[in-house]
Structure 1
Amino acid sequence: MKQEFIEIKGARENNLKNVSLRIPKRKITVFTGVSGSGKSSIVFETIGAEAQRLLNETFSTFIRNRLPKYGQPDADSIENLSTAIVIDQKRLGGNSRSTVGTITDIYAVLRLLFSRIGKPFIGYSNVFSFNDPSGMCPECNGLGETVKLNLDKFLDKSKSLNEGAILFPAFSVGSWYLNTYLYSGLFDNDKKLGDYTETEWETLLHGKSKKVPMMHDNLPINGKFEGLVDKFNRMYIQRDTSVLSESVRATLERFIAFAPCPLCKGTRLSQAALSCRINGYNIAELTHLQIDELIRIIAEIDDPIAVSMTSALIMRLQHLVDIGLEYLSLDRETSSLSGGESQRIKMVRHLGSSLTDMIYIFDEPSIGLHPRDVHRLNELLMQLRDKGNTILVVEHDPEVIGIADHIVDVGPQAGVHGGEVVYEGTVAGLAQAKTLTGRFLSQKLPLKPEFRKATGQLIISNAVLHNLKNVTVSIPRGVFTAVTGVAGSGKSSLINGIFVKQYPEAIIIDQSAVSTSIRSNPATYTGVMDDIRKLFAKENGVSPSLFSFNSKGACPNCQGTGFIFTDLAFLEPVKTICETCNGKRFKEEVLEYKLKGKSITEVLEMTAEEAVDFFEKKDLKRKLQAIHDVGLDYLTLGQPLSTLSGGECQRIKLASNLHKEGSIYVLDEPTTGLHMSDTGHLLEIMNRLVDGGNSVIVIEHNLDVIRNADWVIDMGPEGGKKGGEVIFTGTPADLLHDPGSLTGRYLAAQLKTEGELRS
C-alpha cells in the first residue's frame, strides 16, 4: 500500500516558525525536544485541534454549541487528517460516584452479569448501580459514606447571631446568607445560641424552606428561610463538590465530618443488591478485589449463559493488567488517580475499539511508570498502530522513543529559541544527529561516587494508609532521598499521605495545576510582579496599582483580559483581541510610563531569560533566576498559567519556593515533562538545596535521578496488595546488589549496558 501522510504547511501556533511536516499515517511518530520547544504546539494545538474542530463541524449547530470549542490553528494548510483522540495527562477527576469500574464501562458489564446469573434474582442491571435510585443505598444515596455538618465547629454557642455565632465564612456578619436569618423575625438576634429553647434551636437548624416577610431598615426584602443544616446540606453536601474552587473545598473540610455509611458499610449499594451472589461473592466484594485477583474469580464462572459477559470482562480487565494497573480495584474513585494513571485508564477505553484509521495523540504516556512497565506501554502503542491507526506521541523517555517508526525532533532550544524542526527520520538517525535530543539519547549520568551523611532522622512509625502495611522507616535529614518502586507500591501513600501530615512544615511541590485563571502568570505566581509594579511606581511617581491589569491599570473595555468574547447565540462565541488596548490589557495612559525605556506590557512580554538581564534589584533578580534555574527561562512573565503543562506547573512551584527558607522539600516526580538534557540541571538545583542545609525527598522513577541520590527507600515488592512494604533502604551503590528490588535490578542492568558496572 502506498504510504500516506498528514501534511502540514506553514504552522505558526505559539512559537512555531512556519513549520511544514509530512507525518506518515498508520505509523508511530514520536515528537522529541526540550520543554517549550514547540512539540505540543504541533501535536495538540495544530493537528489535534484541527482534527477535533473539523469533526465538530459535522454536527448540527445545536450539538456544536454543547461541545468543546476549538479555534482554527494558525497554519497555511493541514491535510489528510483522520478523527483524532487525544489521551492527555489531565486527571480524570470526578466525584465519589465515578470509579475505575464506571469510567471504563467494566462495571456495566459486571452489573449485567449479576442480573443474569446472580442468586437470588433481584432485578435488572440497574438495581446493581449505586448511581441509580433503585440500586443505591438509601442511607448514603450511593456515596458509601455519610457526610455531616460538624455543628461544634460550625457554631459558637457562646455568641449571638449578631456577634457572628455562625463560623462558616459564607455566613459571616454582613453576608446575605446571615441576613436571611437576622431579618427573618424568627430569632432574638442578640440572644446567645446556648440560651436558645428547643423550639428555637430546631427552627435555626431545621426550619422548613418557606418564604417569610423579611424587613431591613423598614423595607421588605425578598428572602426564603431555610434551616442552617438543611441549607448547608443543599449548598455543599448534596452537590458535586468537584465544581467548587480549591479554596472553598479546603474551607468545607474544616466544617464537615466523614464516616463510612453504617448501613451499606461503604459499598454504596442497597441491601437487596448486596444479597445477590455469584460463586459466593456479591458485586461489591468483586469490585473491591485487585484487578489481577478479579480476573481469576471471573475466569472460574462456568455458567453457559455468562460466556459472552465473562469473556468481555476478562478481555477488558486484562487490558488494565497489560498497562500496569493490575493493583487498582474497580471501586477506586477516579478522583484519587494520578495523572499517569488517568492517562492509562483513558488508553484502556480505546484498546477494545473496532475503529481503525484514527489518530491517537499521547502526551508523555510513560509518566508514572517504573522502567519495568515501560515495555508494556510500548506493546500497547504498537498494538494500536497495528490495527491501522496513526500514533502521535510527545515523549522524553528513550525506551518509548526507541519504538518509533518516525521521529520529529523540535528545537533547537525552547520558547523564542525553538519552534523549528531540527531533525526528521529514524531513531538510529536521531542518535547520530547533532541536536540536544540526539546528543543526550544515549548519554546517562554516572553513578554518584560519594554520598552525604545524615544529620538526623525523620521518623515515620506504623504507617497504615491504602496498601501500607504498618510501615516504619527513617528518612535521613540533610541529604537527598529518592523514594522509588513500581506504580502502586505505596510511594505516594507513604510520602504524600503520611509524611507530609506528620511534618506539615515541609514544602510540597507536586504536579497539580497552579491556576486555571488567565489573570495568573509566572510574574504574579512567583511574586516578582509586586517588585516590578513597585519599581515602575517609584520610577514614575505614581501608585503601584496602576501597573496591575487586575486593578486600576486594567483596560476598561476588556477588564484587563486583553480580549473580548462575543456571544453569537447558536454559533460559537468569537474571541477577538480587544480593540481598545490591542491585547495589551492596560489603559493607554499606563503604557506611557516607562522603566529603563520599557512599558509594563513590554516587560511582561520578556522571557525569564531576558528579564534576568534587564532588572538590577538583587531580590527580584534572585526570584527571576529561580525561574531560569528550573528550566523555564523560555516562559514570558505574562504567559497565563492555565497554558502550562503538569511538569511546567511543578517547576514554577519549585521556582517560587527556591527563595523560601524551608528545611524539608518534597517533590513528586520532578522529571515529568523534562527533557533528558535538563535532568542534570534539576539535580544541580536539588543538590544546592541540600547543600543549603535542607532535606530533599523525591518520589521518582527516573534512573538518572535515583543513581544521584544519597539515600534510596524502595517500596514494593509489587503494586497494590502485593506492595506497601519497604524492601530496601540504603545508598544507590548498595541498591545495585539487592536481589529483591526491581529498581535495583533495572539500575544495575542500565549501568552494565553502559559499562559502568562490571559483573
Structure 2
Amino acid sequence: MEEIKIQGARIHNLKNINLTIPKHKLVVITGISGSGKSSLAFDILFEEGKNQYLRSIGILAGLDNEDRFDTMEGIGPTVAVRQNTIRQSNPRSTVGTKTGILNQLALVYASDGKALDESEHLSPGSFLYTTADGMCISCQGRGSYYDINLKKLIPDKTTTLLEVYDSLQVTAGFLRILKNKYGMYFETSFWELPEDIQGEVVYGAYDNGKQSYCLERILRNAYEKGEDVEEVYAKTTCPDCHGERIGQEAREVFLGGKQIGELGQMTLSGLLDFINGIPAEELSQFGKNVVKNVMEKLKHLIQFSLGYLTLYRELASLSGGEVQRIFLHIHLESRLDSLIYVFDEPMAGLHPSEKQSMIEAVKELRDLGNTVIVVEHDKEMIRHADHIIEIGPKAGIEGGTVVYQGDYEGYEKEDTLLSQYLFSKHLMLERTVRTDRFDKEDSLTLEHVRTHYLKDLTVAFPLHAMVGIAGLSGSGKSSLIEETLMKRLANARKYGHAKGIAGVERISGYAKISQEPIGRSVNSTPASYIGIWDKIRELFAKQPEAKIRNMSAGHFSFHSKGACPDCGGSGYERIFLTSDFSVDKLCQTCHGKRFNEESLSVDYNGKTIVDVLEMSIVQAIFFFEDQNSIVKPLCILEQMGMGYLTLGQPSSSLSGGEAQRVKLAKELGRQLKGNMLYVLDEPTTGLSLYDTALLLKLLDQLVASGNSVIIIEHNVEVLRSCDYIIELGPEGGDKGGEIIAKGTPERLRDNPNSKTGRYLS
C-alpha cells in the first residue's frame, strides 16, 4: 500500500481524527506544544507499527487491549527515536562502541599494528576496553575515576572531625546520626583518627551493597548537583593507562605512531585527519579496506555536525539531538528500506548553519525507500517536507484535530495558529525593555576559563539584561555556562569564596533551569514536582468518608497505601520479550487507574483522586479555586502556555522545553527577593514559535522586574530578542573554545567573524 490510513484516532486529546499519510515521503507533523502531534506520531503510528510486527511473528497475540483507534491500514515495521527515551546511562557505552568504529580500529591494530617488542600476536579484543582481555585493570576500562584530595579538603593538621563536617555543611539530621557513630572522635583532629575510622569517615562502610553516609558521598552529591568541588573531589585520569582505557599489552602497539587509546581521545575531525595521514605502506590490503570504511563513517558523522565528539565520549553525556544524529547515521549505514522511521525533533541543538546536513540526511533515508515521519517545529525542515500535518488548533482539550494537511505551498496560504508565526503573518512580541548600552561595572565576569576546549577566556556577562550564548555544536557553550559559571556560582554560595569570578555580590541568588527531566519514574508528575500533590491528598484525607474509614493521605497515593494490589500502582503489567525490550499490558484489575477500590470510594467535590489526576491545569484551577496554595503555582504554568498538561502526566513524558518551563514555574512560585540570575539551556527545545513567543514574554517580564537572564540558544527568534550575545567558535571541539563575536544582535549582524549574525536579520 502507498498510504497509511487511520480512522478514529482518539488517544489522549486526539478527537477521533481520520488521516491519510503518504508512504515513501518525508512527512512533518507539527503543532503547538500539547496539540497532540506526539500522540499521533508515537502513541498511534509507532506503537501500532511495533505491535503489528510483534503479532505477525506470534508475539503479543491478544495483548493489545487499549482502545486507541478504529482502524489502521498500510502500517509496517516502525523505528522510533524519541528525545526522552534514548538517553543511556551505561558509562561503557560510548560514541566509538555505538558506531562500531572502535571495533573496526581494533581489527586494523590487530592486523597491522607495530609492537615495540615482537610480542605474541594480539587479538582484536585486546584493543577494546569493553573486553576482559583489553580493559585496563586499574580503572576497569573507564580511563578515569573520582578521587578525594584529602590534603586540600583538610589542609590544617589540627582540624577536628566535627569541624570537617561543619565545613561541608552537613545537615542537623545527618549530624545526629554521625554523632551516634563517631561522637567520641568529634573533638579529635581528623589526621589523628585511627586508620580504620579515618577510612570509614572518608569512604563509608557497605551494608548489603549500600554505602553509609561519608565524605565521599557528600562530595559526590555536591559534584552531581553542579557545585564546584573539583579542587577536592575531581575526576582523576587513570595513572596506569592515562585515560586510554586499554591494557598494557595493547598500549605497546602503534599505528601511524599512535596507540588505539590515543585515537579514542581524539575528536572525530582530528581522527579523520590522522587516518588520512597514515602512510599507505603501513597498511595491508585488509587494513586499507577497513580504514576506508572507518573514514566513510567519520565523514558521515562530521556531516551531521558531530565532528567535535571523541570516540570515548560517553553516550550518557550527549544531548537528545546528538544521540538522534548518531542513530540517524547508524540507520543510513544499514541501507534498510520499506521501514517507517519516526523522529522527535532531530533539529534540536543544531546551529542554523548546521541544519542543511540534517535535512539532507533524512531525505537520503527517504530516498532509500523508507517513510520518514518527523515531529518538528523547525521552519527549514517544514519547508523541505513532502507532506505537512498540523495538529491543533491549540493545546490540550482545545487541540487534537487536523487543522492542515498538504504541501508547503498550500500551508503558506493557510491561516492556522502556527502558520501565522511560521510565515510572519503574526510577529513576535517586542521586548518592553531593550538596551544596547552596558555598564562594565554591572556584570558578572569569569576569568581565565580553560574548561575542556575553552582557550583561557575572560568573559563579562551584562546583568539586568537578557544575554544569549550562541555558537556551533560543540563550540564550548555548555563548558562556559554549565561547567564553569554555574559551578563557580555554587562554590561562592556554599563555600563563601569566589575564585575566578567577579561580581557575584551584584546578584541576590541564581536559578539554573536545565533540560534534565524533572522526574525519571512514572510516579513523578507535574503536580508532585511543583509541590501541590501532598496538599491535594491531604484534602481527600479530610473528607467524611475518609475519616470514617480511618484513611490517611497515604491512601491517596498510587505508590503507597492507595496502590492497586495487582500492578503496584503502575497501571500496567510489563512483559519483557528480551532482557532490555518490553511491552506494557493494561492492568486488568484497575484498568490503568492505578488505585485500589477503597481509595476510589472517596470523593472531593464529586471527583475521585483519579478524576483529579486526569484534570488539565486549566480545569484544576477552576476546581480548586478556593485553595490558594494549590492554585498559585498552577496559574503560573497556565501563563506559560502549559495549561494543557494534566496533573497526573508522567514527568518522564515531558519534552526538554516543557520540563524547563515547569522548573521555571516552580522557581517563580517561590517568594524570591528579586535581582535573581536565571540561567536556561536551550529552553525552546520542543516549542513551536507560538510557545516561544509565550516564553519570551515571560523572560522579558523577568528582566523588566530587575532580574538577569542568561540563555544558551540556537533559536534565531530568541537570539534576535536578546540584549547582548556572546558567540563561541569558530568550530566545535578543539577547533572551538574562543569568543568570535559579542555585542547586540545588530553588532553581530555586522560582524564578519560571526556565524550567527547572518541569521539575525
Measured against the shorter chain, the TM-score band is 0.7 to 0.9
Match of 2:519 among 499, 515, 520: 515
Structure 1 pair 563/482, CA: closer, same or farther in 2 (3 Å)?
closer
Match of 2:615 among 606, 609, 633: 606
Mapped pair 1:116 → 2:111: yes
On the 8 A contact 2:477/2:712 being kept in 1, the answer is: yes
Structure 1 pair 535/73, CA: closer, same or farther in 2 (3 Å)?
closer
Structure 1 pair 688/205, CA: closer, same or farther in 2 (3 Å)?
closer
Aligned to 1:622: 632
Structure 1 pair 538/365, CA: closer, same or farther in 2 (3 Å)?
same
Q: Which ranges of structure 2 fall in alignment gaps of 5 or more residues?
A: 491-508
Aligned to 1:125: 124
Match of 1:632 among 609, 626, 642: 642
On the 8 A contact 1:447/1:707 being kept in 2, the answer is: no
Question: Deviation digits for residues 11-30 of structure 1, max 9, x if unmatched?
Answer: 12211111222211111010
Aligned to 1:221: none
Mapped pair 1:106 → 2:124: no
| Range that drifts further, 272-281 or 691-700 | 272-281
Question: How far apart are 1:506 and its partner, in Å?
Answer: 2.0
For 1:124-273, what aligned pairs fall within 5 Å after superposition?
Answer: 124-148=123-147, 201=195, 231=206, 258-273=235-250
Structure 1 pair 235/307, CA: closer, same or farther in 2 (3 Å)?
farther
In structure 2, how many angstroms separate the alpha carbons of the residues matched to 1:646 and 1:126?
A: 38
In structure 1, how many angstroms separate the alpha carbons of the residues matched to 2:708 and 2:512?
A: 12
On the 8 A contact 2:388/2:405 being kept in 1, the answer is: yes
Aligned to 2:92: 97
**RMSD of aligned residue pairs (Cα, Å):** 4.2
In structure 2, how many angstroms separate the alpha carbons of the residues matched to 1:489 and 1:659?
A: 34
On the 8 A contact 2:338/2:369 being kept in 1, the answer is: yes
TM normalised by structure 2 equals 0.82
In structure 2, how many angstroms separate the alpha carbons of the residues matched to 1:111 and 1:76?
A: 52
Match of 2:602 among 591, 594, 614: 591
Structure 1 pair 551/4, CA: closer, same or farther in 2 (3 Å)?
closer
Q: Give the secondary-structure state (helix, strand or coil) at the position aligned to 1:29.
A: strand
Structure 1 pair 673/112, CA: closer, same or farther in 2 (3 Å)?
same
Question: How far apart are 1:110 and its partner, in Å?
Answer: 0.8
Match of 1:413 among 389, 394, 406: 394
Mapped pair 1:500 → 2:512: no
In structure 1, how many angstroms separate the alpha carbons of the residues matched to 2:724 and 2:227?
A: 39
In structure 2, how many angstroms separate the alpha carbons of the residues matched to 1:555 and 1:634?
A: 26
Aligned to 1:223: none
Question: How far apart are 1:434 and its partner, in Å?
Answer: 2.1
Structure 1 pair 252/551, CA: closer, same or farther in 2 (3 Å)?
farther
Q: Which ranges of structure 1 fall in alignment gaps of 5 or more residues?
A: 183-187, 207-226, 752-759
In structure 2, how many angstroms separate the alpha carbons of the residues matched to 1:641 and 1:439?
A: 30
Aligned to 1:473: 459
Q: Give the secondary-structure state (helix, strand or coil) at the position aligned to 2:731.
A: coil
Question: How far apart are 1:374 and its partner, in Å?
Answer: 0.6
In structure 2, how many angstroms separate the alpha carbons of the residues matched to 1:117 and 1:671?
A: 48
Question: How far apart are 1:230 and its partner, in Å?
Answer: 8.0
On the 8 A contact 2:563/2:594 being kept in 1, the answer is: no
Aligned to 1:445: 428
Count of equivalent residues: 700
Structure 1 pair 427/234, CA: closer, same or farther in 2 (3 Å)?
same
| Range that drifts further, 69-78 or 120-129 | 69-78
In structure 1, how many angstroms separate the alpha carbons of the residues matched to 2:170 and 2:693?
A: 48
Match of 1:575 among 581, 586, 610: 586
Aligned-partner residue type, residue 80 of structure 2:
V
Mapped pair 1:722 → 2:735: yes
Structure 1 pair 422/538, CA: closer, same or farther in 2 (3 Å)?
same
| Range that drifts further, 374-383 or 539-548 | 539-548
Question: How far apart are 1:57 and its partner, in Å?
Answer: 3.8
Match of 2:665 among 652, 655, 673: 655
| Range that drifts further, 140-149 or 535-544 | 535-544
Question: Deviation digits for residues 533-560 of structure 1, max 9, x if unmatched?
Answer: 5666788798895387239995364499
Question: Deviation digits for residues 580-605 of structure 1, max 9, x if unmatched?
Answer: 996566845863443xx655544443
Q: Give the secondary-structure state (helix, strand or coil) at the position aligned to 2:727.
A: strand
Q: Give the secondary-structure state (helix, strand or coil) at the position aligned to 2:739.
A: strand
In structure 2, how many angstroms separate the alpha carbons of the residues matched to 1:373 and 1:450?
A: 29
Structure 1 pair 247/524, CA: closer, same or farther in 2 (3 Å)?
farther
Aligned-partner residue type, residue 669 of structure 1:
E
Aligned-partner residue type, residue 435 of structure 2:
F
In structure 1, how many angstroms separate the alpha carbons of the residues matched to 2:255 and 2:560?
A: 68
Aligned to 2:501: none
On the 8 A contact 1:50/1:73 being kept in 2, the answer is: no
For 1:383-422, what aligned pairs fall within 5 Å after superposition?
Answer: 383-422=364-403
On the 8 A contact 1:49/1:71 being kept in 2, the answer is: no
Q: Give the secondary-structure state (helix, strand or coil) at the position aligned to 2:641.
A: coil
Aligned to 2:259: 282
In structure 2, how many angstroms separate the alpha carbons of the residues matched to 1:664 and 1:251?
A: 16
In structure 2, how many angstroms separate the alpha carbons of the residues matched to 1:105 and 1:71?
A: 39
Aligned to 1:218: none
Question: How far apart are 1:276 and its partner, in Å?
Answer: 1.0
Mapped pair 1:491 → 2:477: yes
TM normalised by structure 1 equals 0.82
Aligned to 1:331: 312
On the 8 A contact 1:546/1:552 being kept in 2, the answer is: no
Question: How far apart are 1:652 and its partner, in Å?
Answer: 1.1
Match of 1:25 among 15, 23, 26: 23
Question: How far apart are 1:639 and its partner, in Å?
Answer: 2.2
Aligned-partner residue type, residue 474 of structure 1:
A
Aligned-partner residue type, residue 614 of structure 2:
E
On the 8 A contact 2:558/2:564 being kept in 1, the answer is: no
Q: Give the secondary-structure state (helix, strand or coil) at the position aligned to 2:33.
A: coil
Question: How far apart are 1:495 and its partner, in Å?
Answer: 0.6
On the 8 A contact 2:556/2:609 being kept in 1, the answer is: no
Q: Give the secondary-structure state (helix, strand or coil) at the position aligned to 2:83.
A: coil
Question: Deviation digits for residues 721-753 of structure 1, max 9, x if unmatched?
Answer: 111111122111111101000000222xxx3xx
In structure 1, how many angstroms separate the alpha carbons of the residues matched to 2:738 and 2:89?
A: 30
Structure 1 pair 79/721, CA: closer, same or farther in 2 (3 Å)?
same
Question: Deviation digits for residues 499-528 of structure 1, max 9, x if unmatched?
Answer: 111223421111111112333322221123
Match of 2:50 among 46, 49, 52: 52
Q: Give the secondary-structure state (helix, strand or coil) at the position aligned to 1:506.
A: strand
Structure 1 pair 321/589, CA: closer, same or farther in 2 (3 Å)?
closer
Aligned-partner residue type, residue 645 of structure 2:
L
Match of 2:297 among 316, 332, 338: 316
Question: How far apart are 1:621 and its partner, in Å?
Answer: 3.6
